[in-house]
Amino acid sequence: MNEAYLVPNPIAPNQSVCIDHDKCVGCNCCANACRTQTIMPNPEKGQPPIVIYPDECWFCGCCVGACKREAIRIVYPINQRVFFKRKTTGEVFRLGGPDSPPQTYFKPPVG
Amino acid sequence: MNWHEYAIKHGKLPEWPYEISYGKENVVESDVLVVGGGVAGCRAAIAALQQGASVAVAERGFTKRSGLGGAGVDHWHGAVTNPCSKITPEMYSDTAMKISDGYTNGLARYIIGKEGWDTLLELEEMGVQIRDEDDEFKDTMFRDEETKLLFAYDLDNKHCLRVYGNNIKPCLDAEMRRLGAGVYDRTCITALLTEGGRQGARVIGAMGVNDRTGEFFVFKAKAVVVATGGGKRLGSFAPELTESQSMFHINLTNMGHTIAWNAGAELVMMDQLYVGGLDMGYAPYSMGNADNTYQGAPTVDANGVRVQHASATGTLLTDERQIFQSANPDTFVIGHGIGLGPTNTQEYSVSTLDHALNDKISSGELRLPLYNDFTLLDEKHRRLIWGLMLSHEGKTRVPIYETLSKWGFDPDKDMLQYAVTNAELLSHRSSWTGLEHSPKNWVVTAGGGGIITDWRLQGSLPGMFAAGGFPLFGSGCHGEAQTTGRYAGRQAARFASEHDSAEPDRAQIEREKRELFAPVENEGGDIGWKELNYAIARVVQDYCGRYKTEEILDLGIKRLKDLRDTEGRRTYANNPHELGRLVECFRLIDLGICYMEAAKARKASSKILGFSRVDYPEMDPPEWNCLLPISQSDGQVHVRKLPCDYYRQAPYSDCLAENYEKYTVPAKKEAT
Ligand SMILES: Cc1cc2nc3c(=O)[nH]c(=O)nc-3n(C[C@H](O)[C@H](O)[C@H](O)COP(=O)(O)OP(=O)(O)OC[C@H]3O[C@@H](n4cnc5c(N)ncnc54)[C@H](O)[C@@H]3O)c2cc1C
Ligand code: SF4
Ligand code: SF4
């Protein structure tokens, strides 16, 4: 594929939140909950919203909290991820890295 | 899907999803208008409604979640009259003043001391949990068995509480609407209306623009509460790099300060400006830390050697309880997180890590990187930090608690790495507010500057009340913001009941409209809002940074005016979003001028204000130990000197309690 377009430079972060198009029903609850206008409704009704201003995203997670379908998640900027170390094995993992161990902490928030 | 992906997939640009009507005029009338629906604004609205006033709330974002407090909170300062507290309102106010050399708001701190706990109890009635009801933390040192309250930072004096604050904003929003507030979300207020359109006259409403439709709003009101929070876009601006870690978000532009300044109100402490590399760090709590929410979390070095905690004055601590005590038995923890600037003593600060950390790392005794080792805590304490504090703190429920868990991080097993930077920064919270390699001359306008008020929290203009962490001068955190909001809301309702409404001046409205909508009518515009914002920030960094002189400040003011009158006229807005950002930039120019005028007015340097004048290097000479209220009218700037304790001098009493009793409006539960 040699197709290319004249487009402005990629924005950073590229996508501060990511919407799963299989789960999303285009209700726009996330867009309404967003304090900035990072997420905007799709001009086509019922389609997943568009992450239009990711450079304005505060990474507050309120959009995620507003979605009843678990269709949206936060994507931390890649310059923002430190390591963690598993105490018993000494293994070091990067937050959100490709070798992340499986989730083992499932305790719900207190209260 | 982001914009690029949409454009490529569909072969066209996404159309604006809302109907646009630039400049279409909407008029809203109420007894009380609240500008800014953050926690302070919502409390002001609720309190005014309870007094029987009709209320409109104009909010830049979405009241259910907007503002600094919208994404949660984990502790509540200033609840000094809770049944376990050993601190009195007098101690809270007087100590804040003492350790700040008078440069903070002693008046507001007394009101907060008197009402902070009542404000929290009312919040509990609205559905916010403030106690360990399920006895999960029974028999821990943080809990009072009788009241089931949980305390933070100072277990001897018990004036700061842990709260389950994730749902505070939805609860406030629901209560405000239940009581009948008219809520106008997505409305960026850009100016106050004054009687006859004159600077310095009574405030009778406000104007603004909707960032979905571009419609214009005129709010007419008998009294106005300004509660727009703080901001940062004036001097430190690089959203692509900083939003994830910033404590302020892009909607926050200190607009309350600016609209008050433009209306002719007096502001003080606008000469408190922090210079430093704030915001260039890591997202709060996404890395190791020993402060705030992670207070008490053990720290180890790369070899697992424990880094000791130290009292604020440097004594190494051996017992876990000492981490939650003040530096000596004569002091209590205050200042932490309540918006006091640098203080004149460490004795009232929270504990930190070993003060010799830097030396120990340099000598090889401790090895980088450091980690938070949560596994060293017992299960209850780990749950208290991770499960309660972290899951309720702002910007952490989803971004940290849920996201880190999904990434496999498990506080029962894993250690979270600290940022790699200067150890002095590591012992404090700075790994999220700025690392060593940050820009060195960024100016952050989150000092204590703001609107000066009387004992009713009314500013120098009749009918204008101030509340919140900002723009009320020298006031601080979440609990404090709610408390001053609640108090100011009652006062505004009282004022509205005693005054008639006034018709806004048509010429003032037309002037505002012309300016606001010029960028969408400007066909030759070739400068976007971001470019203008970067330029404004650069002028403020250079001309209102560390090296201030009379000439430099005059040049700065000239450059800002030039920006407004030349490049500012060449700006364009493609849609209501860009228009909203652009009008914020115009107001940032006005605000920058206000800061520089305030800097010109103080002809001395000052430690607590973080204020340096190259041409007046003497630090805090006695004749300059005062507030400098600054205002403008008819193109002239006016400055006067005012004692820092003006609120206990004539016409007021020296007795704080007497003043409070004289001026407070009693709280009511329901509208009558
Ligand atoms: C991540 C995080 C965690 C925190 N944790 C704590 C804590 O645990 N304890 C604590 O005490 N404090 C905490 N704070 C601080 C606390 O949240 C703030 O002090 C508090 O929210 C201030 O309240 P406010 O109402 O004055 O301002 P905000 O909550 O910021 O509200 C201001 C409102 O004004 C609106 N506004 C701004 N400009 C305009 C305009 N032009 N027109 C209309 N509306 C406008 C904004 O959209 C916003 O909704 C935390 C802050 C952050 C960011
Ligand atoms: S809230 Fe969830 S389902 Fe609704 S539009 Fe957003 S992502 Fe899709
Ligand atoms: S994280 Fe916050 S700012 Fe970012 S898109 Fe979601 S709601 Fe908007």
Residues for chain B: how many in total? 672
| pLDDT for the residue B430 | 58
**Model pLDDT for residues B79-90, shown as the tens digit of each residue:** 999 999 999 999
Q: Is the model's pLDDT at B341 over the cut of 80?
A: no
| pLDDT for the residue B342 | 80
| For residues B571-600, average pLDDT | 98
| For residues B621-634, average pLDDT | 97
From A17's Cα to the closest Cα of chain B, the distance in A is: 9
The answer for B 533-592 residues in CB contact with A (under 8 A) is 577
Return the ligand 3 atom nearest residue A30 CA.
Answer: 7
Q: Is the model's pLDDT at B671 over the cut of 70?
A: no
Q: How far apart are CA B9 and CA B388, in angstroms?
A: 44
| pLDDT for the residue B429 | 61
Question: Which residue's alpha carbon is nearest to atom 8 within ligand 3?
Answer: A34
> Does A3 fall in a domain?
no
Q: How far apart are CA B310 and CA B360, in angstroms?
A: 14
Please report, for the domain that includes residue A82, its CATH number. 3.30.70.20
| pLDDT for the residue B519 | 95
Q: How far apart are CA B537 and CA B534, in angstroms?
A: 5
| Mean pLDDT, all residues of chain B | 95
Q: What domain range is A80 assigned to? A: 17-94
Which of B395, B402, B419 comes nearest A60 by C-beta?
Answer: B395
Query: Are B250 and A54 within 8 A, CB to CB?
Result: no
Return the ligand 3 atom nearest residue A62 CA.
Answer: 7
User: B495 CB contacts (<8 Å, ≥6 apart)?
Assistant: B222, B223, B456, B458, B462, B463, B465
> Does A2 fall in a domain?
no
3-state secondary structure of B648: helix
From A106's Cα to the closest Cα of chain B, the distance in A is: 7
Give the sign of the dihedral formed by CA B540, CA B542, CA B545, CA B549: negative
Q: How far apart are CA A61 and CA A52, in angstroms?
A: 16
Question: Which residue's alpha carbon is nearest to atom 31 within ligand 1?
Answer: B38
Query: Are B397 and A65 within 8 A, CB to CB?
Result: yes
Neighbours of B663 (CB within 10 A): 17
| pLDDT for the residue B425 | 73
| Ligand 3 center from residue A59 Cα (angstroms) | 5
Residue B481 confidence class, pLDDT cut points 50, 70, 90: very high
| pLDDT for the residue B446 | 81
Q: Is the model's pLDDT at B462 over the cut of 80?
A: yes
Amino acid at B348: Y
Q: Is the model's pLDDT at B298 over the cut of 80?
A: yes
| For residues B540-550, average pLDDT | 95
> Does A99 fall in a domain?
no
| For residues B86-105, average pLDDT | 97
Residue A3 confidence class, pLDDT cut points 50, 70, 90: confident
Question: Which residue's alpha carbon is nearest to atom 6 within ligand 3?
Answer: A63
CB contacts of A57 in chain B (<8 Å) are 243-244
Question: With an 8 Å Cβ cutoff, is B243 touching chain A?
Answer: yes
**Model pLDDT for residues B231-241, shown as the tens digit of each residue:** 989 998 999 99
Q: Is the CB of A28 under 6 A from ligand 3?
A: no
Q: What pairs with residue B188 in β-bridges?
A: B209
Q: Is the model's pLDDT at B423 over the cut of 80?
A: no
> Does A9 fall in a domain?
no
* CATH code reported for the domain at B506-639: 1.20.58.100
- Domain total of chain A: 1
Q: Is the CB of B583 under 6 A from ligand 1?
A: no
Chain B interface mutation, best of A22, A50, A76, A84, highest count of B Cβ atoms under 10 Å: A84
Q: How far apart are CA B265 and CA B449, in angstroms?
A: 13
Q: Residue B232's closest CA among A58, A81, A99, A83?
A: A58
> Does A100 fall in a domain?
no
Which class for B158: exposed (0-12), middle (13-18), buried (19 or more C-beta within 10 A)? buried
Q: Is the model's pLDDT at B672 over the cut of 70?
A: no
Question: Which residue's alpha carbon is nearest to atom 4 within ligand 2?
Answer: A27
Chain B's closest residue to A42, CA to CA, is B17
| pLDDT for the residue B340 | 85
Residue B590 in tokens: 């006005």
Interface predicted TM-score (ipTM) of this complex, two decimals = 0.96
Residue B557 in tokens: 């003011």
Question: With an 8 Å Cβ cutoff, is A89 touching chain B?
Answer: no
- Pairing mode of beta strands B274-275, B443-444: antiparallel
Query: Are B4 and A7 within 8 A, CB to CB?
Result: yes
Query: Are B65 and A85 within 8 A, CB to CB?
Result: no
The ligand placed nearest to the CA atom of residue A69 is 2
Which of A19-26's residues contact partners 24+ apart within 8 Å by CB, and which partners? A19/A48, A19/A49, A19/A51, A19/A71, A19/A72, A19/B1, A20/A71, A20/A72, A20/A73, A21/A48, A21/B1, A23/A69, A23/A70, A23/A71, A24/A48, A24/A49, A24/A69, A24/A71, A24/A72, A25/A69, A25/A71
Give me the residue label for tokens 């899951």.
Answer: B391
Q: Is the model's pLDDT at B202 over the cut of 90?
A: yes
Question: With an 8 Å Cβ cutoff, is B170 touching chain A?
Answer: no
Which of A51, A95, A102 comes nearest B404 by C-beta?
Answer: A95
Which of A15, A57, A74 comes nearest B403 by C-beta?
Answer: A74
| pLDDT for the residue B428 | 66
Question: With an 8 Å Cβ cutoff, is B377 touching chain A?
Answer: no
Locate the domains of chain B by residue range. 506-639
Which of B3, B243, B407 comes nearest A58 by C-beta?
Answer: B243
| pLDDT for the residue B458 | 98
Q: For residue A13, is the peptide bond before it cis, meaning its omega torsion is within 30 degrees of 0?
A: yes
Residue B504 confidence class, pLDDT cut points 50, 70, 90: very high
Q: Residue B76's closest CA among B382, B449, B476?
A: B476
Which of A8, A35, A76 comes nearest B70 by C-beta?
Answer: A35
| For residues B204-221, average pLDDT | 98
From B234's Cα to the closest Cα of chain A, the distance in A is: 16
Give me the residue label for tokens 């880190």.
Answer: B404
| For residues A98-106, average pLDDT | 95
User: B453 CB contacts (<8 Å, ≥6 apart)?
Assistant: B107, B108, B459, B465, B466, B472, B473
| pLDDT for the residue B119 | 98
**Model pLDDT for residues A46-96, shown as the tens digit of each residue:** 999 999 999 999 999 999 999 999 999 999 899 888 899 999 999 999 999
Query: Are B373 and A87 within 8 A, CB to CB?
Result: yes
From A47's Cα to the closest Cα of chain B, the distance in A is: 11
Question: With an 8 Å Cβ cutoff, is B71 touching chain A?
Answer: yes
Q: Residue A52's closest CA among A72, A38, A35?
A: A38
**Model pLDDT for residues B258-297, shown as the tens digit of each residue:** 999 999 999 999 999 888 777 788 899 999 988 899 999 9
* CA-based radius of gyration for chain A: 17
What crossing angle do the helices spanning B550-565 and B529-543 adopt, rounded to 10°?
Answer: 170
